[in-house]
Chain A
């Protein structure tokens, strides 16, 4: 799951070297904390949150086969 999130986030930001992903594993869900270059936060979120919403949709489609929920949070 981390690889998928990394692939997408690094593909849309200007500064892929600054992408950090921290996974907090729970029983039924995993939380992924994403840290990017402050200038890239807007790119990850997108207009009216459309980018992050699409990322969440794709990641949850991938998580379905493991019967897990994935939460993605962007942290400062």
Chain B
């Protein structure tokens, strides 16, 4: 539990970081598009700042496979959290017109489709290369599947999730135990 006065200071601090993140992102974005506006999106988590970009040209900011959006988020995190000590740092998430949510739906659906094939054929499948956030979505979506397991292999940016059928999963476990 935090005391009232502390909480007030923490909020001021978060607000100043929020402004810094917002201004930095706005400046960078408007080198790529002409009408970029940055909104702060309310979220529950105290250590996270969510920024949403509004523009008539979202494609230019998302880029192929979302690489430009990833790069924007990454750089804004570095610049905003510079000179801030670890416990005070805030994670900044940059989204654009609900892209990340849509992407989550697409990745989940794709993972489920491939999982069905693995169950039918009993053979493992390697999914396409994904970033850490998307691989995490796959692991979570298939976590409760009793007949399957998942793991990641390869080196970034060529890291991908492998879906393995239960049979193989047991084999792996057995060899480990023997």
Stretch at the interface among B41-49, B72-80, B112-120, B136-144: B72-80
Determine whether A64 belongs to the interface, using a CB cutoff of 8 Å to chain B: yes
Tell me the bound Cα distance from A1 to B60 in angstroms.
Answer: 16
Q: Interface majority SS on B: helix, strand, loop or mixed?
A: helix
Whether A58 sits at the interface, judged by CB under 8 Å, is yes
A57 and B31 in contact (CB under 8 A), knowing A11-B24, A12-B79? no
CB contacts (< 8 Å) of B28 on chain A: these are 4, 7-8, 58
Looking at the assembled complex, report how far the CB atom of B177 sits from the nearest CB atom of chain A, in whole angstroms. 36
- Provided the pairs A3-B31, A7-B27, A11-B24 are in contact, do residues A58 and B79 lie with their beta carbons within 8 angstroms? no
Chain B, residue nearest A55 (CB): B75
15 pairs of residues in contact across A and B, judged by CB atoms under 8 Å: A1-B31, A8-B75, A11-B75, A11-B78, A12-B79, A48-B156, A51-B78, A54-B74, A58-B28, A58-B68, A58-B71, A58-B72, A61-B61, A61-B71, A65-B60
Q: Once the chains are docked, how many angstroms separate the CA of A64 from the CA of B74?
A: 20
Q: Does B82 contact A (CB under 8 A)?
A: yes
Chain A's closest residue to B74 (CB) is A54
Question: Does chain A have a CB within 8 A of B67?
Answer: yes
A12 touches B82 (CB 8 A): yes
* B32 contacts partner chain A, Cβ-Cβ < 8 Å: yes
B72 neighbours in A (Cβ, 8 Å): 58
| Interface residue ranges, A against B (CB under 8 Å) | 1, 3-4, 7-8, 11-12, 48, 50-51, 53-55, 57-58, 61-62, 64-65
- The answer to the question of B63 belonging to the interface, with a C-beta cut-off of 8 Å to chain A, is yes
Residues of chain B contacted by A4 (CB below 8 angstroms): 28, 31
Contacts of B60 in A (CB 8 A): 61, 64-65
Q: Across the interface, which residues of B come within 8 angstroms of A53, CB to CB?
A: 71
Closest 7 CB pairs of A and B: A11-B79, A54-B71, A57-B71, A4-B31, A62-B31, A61-B68, A62-B32
Give the chain B neighbours of A12 by CB distance below 8 A: 75, 78-79, 82
Chain B contacts with A in 77-91, Cβ cutoff 8 A: 78-79, 82
Q: A57-B63, A61-B63, A61-B68 are in contact. Are A50 and B31 (CB under 8 A)?
A: no
**Chain B positions within 8 Å of A65 at CB level:** 32, 60
